[in-house]
Amino acid sequence: MTRLHLAVSAPLAGLLLLLAGCGGGSSDPGGGVASTLLIDGFNGSGATFQAGFVAGEEAAVTLGPVDRAFRVNSVQFLFGGAPGVRTVTLRVFADTGAAAPGTLVHSADYQVTASDDAFQEIDLTGAAVTLPAGRVRVALRFQDAALPSVARDGDGSITGGRNWIFTAGEWLDSASLGLTGDWIIRAKVVTL
């Protein structure tokens, strides 16, 4: 199990990530283009932490597409709503566009300390998580029930076919379950 540290405060991180996600990315010393993939509209305020998950359930987002093969360097997410330390399983899939994700390319447990205003960041550079051109699904599997938990944005919209909940052995579109707000789960990637 890897212990993880808190990143910069959410308002600053949200602004930086939105700029990175909109600006097309920057060059990587290895020749690739670095960018942050996100679907949420979180800008530092208005997050809702989702109570109600039980052990074994997952929240996930489909991110991309990326037009070339790419490496996932890190995953960022908001995790709070109550104090505590929890272990979550980060799972990364090559997304197929269907409700069920494609091939699992990474799965590991990480310990997170809840915070309502700071992003959690899991560094994957040592794991060499690479995918072909296309989309990626990033999922958080919960090992405990209730809060602390992952957050949704508060912009009043949800992107259909991009926000997922794994429950009772199947993947369901979060919007079909009546949720509003995109999961605040992001991936920093670099093209190969």
How do residues 74-93 score in pLDDT, each as one tens digit? 999 999 999 999 999 999 99
Structure tokens that stand for 88 in this block: 């979550």
Query: Can you tell me the distance from the alpha carbon of 80 to that of 92, in angstroms, rounded to the nearest whole number?
Result: 21
Give the model's pLDDT for residue 4. Answer: 40
pLDDT at 139 over 80: yes
For residues 38 and 16, the answer to whether their CB atoms sit within 8 Å is: no
What's the pLDDT at 31?
75
What's the whole-model pTM score?
0.86
Cβ(46)–Cβ(180) under 8 Å? no
d(CA 35, CA 28) in angstroms, rounded, equals: 10
Asked whether 25 and 176 are in contact (CB, 8 A), the reply is no
- What is the average pLDDT score of the chain? 88
- With a CB cutoff of 8 Å and minimum separation 6, the contacts of 90 are 75, 106, 107, 108, 109, 110, 122, 138, 139, 140, 141
Residue type, 68: R
Tens of pLDDT, residue by residue over 51-72, are 999 999 999 999 999 999 999 9
Region 26-36: mean pLDDT is 78
